[in-house]
Amino acid sequence: MKSNFVFILLSFAVTQFFGVEVMGQTYTSKANGNWNSASTWTITGTAGCSTVPSTPPNATNSRSCPIIININHNVNLSSSLTVGNNNTVSIQIANTKTLSIDDDLGITGYNNKKLNLSGSGMLEIGDDLISTGNSEISITGNLTIDVDKIVNVSQASTFKSNGNINITSKSANINGNGSLNFSAKTNTIFETTNQDFEIQNGAEVFFSGTSGIDSDRDLTISGYTPSVRFEDNSYIKAKRDLTIQGGAVLSMYDNSKIESHDDLFMENQSKLLIFNNSSVTISDKSTLSGGVEIVANESSKIEIGDDISISNQGNITLNGFSSLKVSGNTTLENGSKINGNADNKITIDGRLTLSDQSLVNLNGNSSLQVQDRATIDTNNPSAGLKLNGNSTGKFNSEVRLNRNASTLVSSGTSSITFKDDVKVRNGADVILQGNSTVTSEKDIILDNNYGTSWTNSQSVIVLVEGDFLKGRNSNLNVRNSSSFEITGSFPTEGSDPRIKVDSSPAYYGALRILPVEFLYFYADYQPETKSGLLTWATSKEWENSHFEIERGVNTINTWETVGRVEGNGYSEGPIEYSFTNDILPITRGNIFYRLKQVDFDGSYTYSSTRAIQAQNTSEAKTAWNVYPNPSSLGSEVNVKLIQPGSFQDGKIHVALSNLLGQIKSYYTSSPEEITSIISDWLNASASGLYILDISWGNQRQQVKLMRN
């Protein structure tokens, strides 16, 4: 068995630390050598000590003296070193020097004992580092500690660090109410090189200040652990699996990071809480089951490198600009949920599958994008896929609603884009409410089942660029002032008694096609300039005079002309066009665009409709003073801030438009330039009514100008 040097010392009043005269025995190395050789040591500070061994003792009859050991040379202890009951031992290791212990370093027993480690040298432990039974290990300075086997902290013992410390061991086990505290301003790296890092059974762990755990294999947190907390740029790195189980709670704050190079496993009511720009990156699969919960707050990020499976009421909740990105497939079952509560982004590069009573629920300005097939196979109307508020959904592959009570619900001003077919069958339901919009670039298909239904209500707009295919037993309801427009083929209202359309302004029917052949037509919101950018191209034109750009705000029943782009007349090859709608309505929301293509003879046709979602802008009614108004041709019009000190540095967008939709716009960072800009524009224009639009930050003001 291992022989131990047991320091039995009274913990009555150690009030000073290294390098200061204190009552006790101080051993200072004077040469490289062996711990057990008297020639290695100089002894000082023996006042009040009943016995003074010639080497740091393994036992003493006197408990009146703490022991201080200064390692100023390379010293080797060929056995183990144990700090026993009621002892305080302080070891300081000088820069570039090494204390090597061939066996264990243990702080054991049941009464209070303490080991202080400091300096900037190296501590090598040939076997285990063990702390049990109300022990305390305190580390400061810039030490490097190398443990050959295991670090074990248990039985209410405390291991704390406050310095630039590097601890390396083959494995680590923090359990039995043991405490690992690497506190503020530390830069401690706790690395396991060959086996697992385990935190379990009531342990408390705290890392901050760029400190972290670096496990060469698995990291496991389990057993209703009361507190495992990382903050202030601290981190967890696991080269294999990260497992959180048995009711454990792991919290990440203030730019902290989790990196697992393999899988994430969470089960049995465990929790992962992420705050304030912290991140979780899992390189492989993630499995969540048994009531587990991940909550991401305050711009935090979750990235899964492969598939994620959530079952048995597992939940992921995103708040405050947080995001979830899954590179593989996402599967939810048995009442599991993903909630995007406010301004969240969910990106799924693979398939999305919902079954049983599972739910994906988006609110606020949240968004969902699914690259591969989406399947909703839920069995409860309260489950399925729900988009609320101003949320958006984009599905780049086929969408299937497969089952009775499988439900897709959209409300508020949310919008959905389907890039492939939508198949609603076996009694599934699509329910669209509020001012939500749906654009389907291919077919919408309702099967022949009596329970299958698609319902528009309130001011919903559905645009189908492919065909609308419907079995006679399924139901289409177009209610209130909603609309359902189809570019391709469709059954007429009179031919199918299960197509029910309210009286005007509700609308069901065809959308006219342009005689010119389009390659594409896109509408995109530009947040930097707070404008709408329209781009389109034709592959063939015949007698094409020009395009008039028409806009509808939160409706496609009322249109206004906002611009004109000249056509190419005749063309047999691709022609590209663009138009920027600089002045958006103060009341933003869903803004629709269509192209009115006008021939040389004045005849015209309309394009398909495109939509953008514009961010809200507050209207500032009294920020700018414009005078004189009315004004005369040739005179200057002054545009001044009422409170010049209220302007913060940033771009100001200035636009001037007339009743013909002609617009001039300009960006400036100087409020003083606006007067000369507007005056020059007006002096080069005819008399009439103009709209001056000034946007800056999230503020906007419009002024009507009369020019005589």
Most confident of 36-40, 586-590, 614-618: 36-40
Q: Are residues 606 and 636 in the same domain?
A: no
β-sheet bridge partners, residue 181: 160, 206
Q: Which two tokens stand for residue 457?
A: 């209500």
| Side-chain-side CA neighbours of residue 487 (13 Å) | 15
Q: Are residues 631 and 700 in the same domain?
A: yes
β-sheet bridge partners, residue 160: 138, 181
Q: Are residues 523 and 598 in the same domain?
A: yes
Evaluate whether 449 touches 471 at the Cβ level (below 8 Å): yes
Q: Is the pTM of this model over 0.75?
A: no
pLDDT value at 467 more than 80: yes
Q: Are residues 523 and 606 in the same domain?
A: yes
The mean pLDDT value of the chain amounts to 84
CATH number at residue 659: 2.60.40
- Report if residue 130 sits inside a domain: no
Overall domain count for the chain: 2
- Report if residue 56 sits inside a domain: no
Q: Are residues 658 and 573 in the same domain?
A: no
- Report if residue 682 sits inside a domain: yes
Domain boundary among 614, 637, 667: 614
Q: Are residues 598 and 631 in the same domain?
A: no
| Nearest CA-CA partner of 207 in 165, 171, 246 | 165
Domain boundary among 562, 582, 614: 614
Cα(291)–Cα(314) distance, rounded to whole angstroms?
Answer: 5
- The residue ranking higher by pLDDT, 88 or 77, is 77
pLDDT value at 35 more than 50: yes
| Nearest CA-CA partner of 605 in 539, 514, 496 | 514
- Report if residue 154 sits inside a domain: no
- Confidence band of 227 (pLDDT split at 50, 70, 90): confident
Q: What per-residue confidence (pLDDT) applies to 11?
A: 31
Q: Could you say which DSSP state residue 675 is in?
A: H
Secondary structure class of 494 (helix, strand, coil): helix
- Report if residue 423 sits inside a domain: no
Q: Are residues 606 and 590 in the same domain?
A: yes
| Amino acid type, 283 | S
Q: What per-residue confidence (pLDDT) applies to 621?
A: 54
Q: Are residues 609 and 632 in the same domain?
A: no
- Confidence band of 360 (pLDDT split at 50, 70, 90): very high
Q: Which two tokens stand for residue 306?
A: 């492969």
pLDDT value at 58 more than 80: no
- Confidence band of 140 (pLDDT split at 50, 70, 90): confident
Distances (CA, A) of 544 to 538, 565, 571, 576, 608: 11, 11, 9, 14, 17
Q: What per-residue confidence (pLDDT) applies to 586?
A: 62
- Report if residue 556 sits inside a domain: yes
Q: Are residues 527 and 610 in the same domain?
A: yes
Range of the domain at 672: 618-707
Q: Is the peptide bond before 585 cis (omega within 30 degrees of 0)?
A: no
Strands, E assignment, 72-225: 75-77, 80-83, 88-93, 98-101, 105-107, 113-119, 122-125, 129-131, 135-141, 144-153, 158-163, 166-174, 179-182, 189-192, 197-200, 204-207, 212-215, 219-222
Strands, E assignment, 193-270: 197-200, 204-207, 212-215, 219-222, 227-230, 235-238, 242-244, 249-252, 257-260, 264-267
Q: What is the mean pLDDT of residues 597-613?
A: 84
The pairs formed by 37-44 with CB atoms below 8 angstroms and a separation of 24 or more are 40/73, 40/75
Can you give the length of the chain in residues? 708
CATH number at residue 524: 2.60.40.10
The pairs formed by 259-266 with CB atoms below 8 angstroms and a separation of 24 or more are 259/235, 259/283, 260/219, 260/236, 260/284, 262/238, 263/287, 264/288, 264/304, 265/241, 266/292, 266/294, 266/314
Domain boundary among 614, 640, 660: 614
Evaluate whether 454 touches 476 at the Cβ level (below 8 Å): yes
- Report if residue 412 sits inside a domain: no
Q: What is the mean pLDDT of residues 367-372?
A: 96
Q: Are residues 531 and 606 in the same domain?
A: yes
Give the angle subtended at the CA of 634 by the CAs of 629 and 635, to the nearest 5°: 40
Q: Which two tokens stand for residue 565?
A: 């782009």
Distances (CA, A) of 685 to 386, 514, 518, 637: 51, 34, 35, 13
Q: Are residues 585 and 668 in the same domain?
A: no
| Distance in Å from the first CA to the final CA of the chain | 106
Q: What per-residue confidence (pLDDT) applies to 683?
A: 87
Q: Are residues 610 and 658 in the same domain?
A: no
Secondary structure class of 567 (helix, strand, coil): strand
pLDDT digits (tens, 9 = 90+) for 403-458: 988 899 999 889 999 999 999 999 999 999 998 889 999 999 999 998 899 999 99
Give the angle subtended at the CA of 94 by the CAs of 93 and 96, to the nearest 5°: 110
- Confidence band of 175 (pLDDT split at 50, 70, 90): confident
- Report if residue 672 sits inside a domain: yes
